[in-house]
Amino acid sequence: MNGLELSRLYFFETALPSLRERFGAACDRMAAGLAGNGSECFGFDDEISRDHDWGEDFFIWVTEPDRSMLKELSQWKAELFETSPPPHPKARSQWGAYTEPSTVGDFYKSLTGCPGVPATVAQWRAAPEENLAMAVNGEVFMDGPEEFSAIRRGLLGHYPGDWRLKRLAAACMAMAQTGQYNLERCRRRGDVVAELAAVSRFQEAAIKAVFLLDKEFKPYYKWAWRKLCTLSPTGKEVGKLLERMALSRPDAVDLAEQICSVIGDRLIADGLSRPGDTFFTHHALELMGRIKDEQLRRLPPQFE
């Protein structure tokens, strides 16, 4: 079992009975689960993950009126881990994530900058995508008030339409510049470092485009490709092509075009672009033309 499954088991078998004994009916006003930073929250932990910041753990989230309970909840959790330690105690590193009890709003604000679902394009722009991915990963074990889950559902609804289109346009521009234009030119010049940089930036832009098409938040680079391969058929196909690109440098230029073809077909199938020039600036401009927000539409296609 991975860390999330072990944490769920520990919570229901050991933590929840103790929590109910200590706090009684107040438990019905709490939420609990495991989400945020850590490979186990994405379900990607393995034997390599277990050397630091890994083991059974959970959050307790309370609503704002119960903020005064946080100190006692922290004491209870510390005592629980001392008297009934989990089978795999977490050895926290200097940079490990903290799972102290918190209010619902504080948890989301720590990741996205907002105590709830961002209400404006400016607030969405300010929230790092990898943090949005952490805000909706993992699992909610229980949620009496449903406040935590309601915000989670709102975030899972993904970006507002115009902001999604703008980010897709920027990804298409990056794919055109790096994979379709500069990759081959850097190779002809013998500039190996710039060539590898072009490959890396193209891969990042292509992955971002698929996540946006699938209305999923892209986790940070360490897990982005792995998560990509679990998405739609588009994600699986692009994931295989990206793996070939990483393993076969001589084929990189051709593979970049194949990836562009797959993503271009998806853009057209989803009604976000039209057939035309295969150079990806064509799709970027098509996407820009569908944006209704005047301020976003005025930004250059490559900017976010």
pLDDT, tens digit, 9 for 90 and up, residues 10-47 = 999 999 999 999 999 999 999 999 999 999 999 999 99
Please give the Cα distance from 231 to 225 (Å, whole number): 10
Q: Given this model, what pLDDT does residue 202 score?
A: 98
Q: What is the distance between the alpha carbons of residues 206 and 37, in angstroms, rounded to a whole number?
A: 24
Average of pLDDT values for 220-234? 97
Q: Among 85-89, 135-139, 299-303, which stretch is predicted with the lowest mean pLDDT? A: 85-89
How many alpha carbons fall within 13 Å on the CB side of residue 8? Answer: 13
Distance CA 68, CA 248 (A): 58
Residues 6+ apart with CB under 8 A from 68: none
| Predicted pLDDT at 93 | 74
Residues whose CB falls within 8 Å of the CB of residue 254, separated by 6 or more in sequence, listed in order: none
Mean pLDDT for 185-203 is 98
What is the mean predicted confidence (pLDDT) over 80-94?
Answer: 88
Q: Quick one: DSSP state of residue 97?
A: P
Alpha-carbon span 85 to 14, nearest angstrom:
9
Average pLDDT of 70-90? Answer: 95
Q: Count of CB atoms within 10 A of residue 24's CB?
A: 9
Give the other-Cβ count within 10 Å of 267's Cβ: 21
Give mean pLDDT, residues 232-258.
Answer: 97
Neighbours of 257 (CB within 10 A): 15
- 161: helix, strand or coil: helix
Mean pLDDT of the chain: 96
> Which pLDDT value is given to residue 57?
96
Strands, E assignment, 48-192:
59-62, 102-103, 139-143
Above 80 in pLDDT, residue 190?
yes
**Residue 173 confidence (pLDDT) above 90:** yes
Burial class (CB in 10 A: 0-12, 13-18, 19+), 139: middle
What is the maximum span of the chain, computed from C-alpha positions, in angstroms? 71
Residue 254's nearest CA partner among 184, 192, 194, 166 is: 184
User: What pLDDT score was predicted for residue 94?
Assistant: 72
Beta bridge partners of 30: 62
Residue 143, φ and ψ in degrees, nearest 5: -160, 90
DSSP lists the bridge partners of residue 103 as 62
pLDDT tens digit sequence for 261-279? 999 999 999 999 999 999 9
Strands 59-62 and 30-34: antiparallel
Query: 């969405």: which residue's tokens?
Result: 124
What is the arithmetic mean of pLDDT over 291-298? Answer: 96
pLDDT for residue 286 is more than 80: yes
Query: 263 and 209 in contact (C-beta within 8 Å)?
Result: yes
The pTM assigned to this predicted structure is 0.96
Of 49-53, 83-87, 254-258, 292-296, give the lowest mean pLDDT range: 49-53
Outline where 127-272 has alpha helix (H).
129-135, 147-156, 161-175, 183-189, 192-213, 221-228, 233-247, 252-269
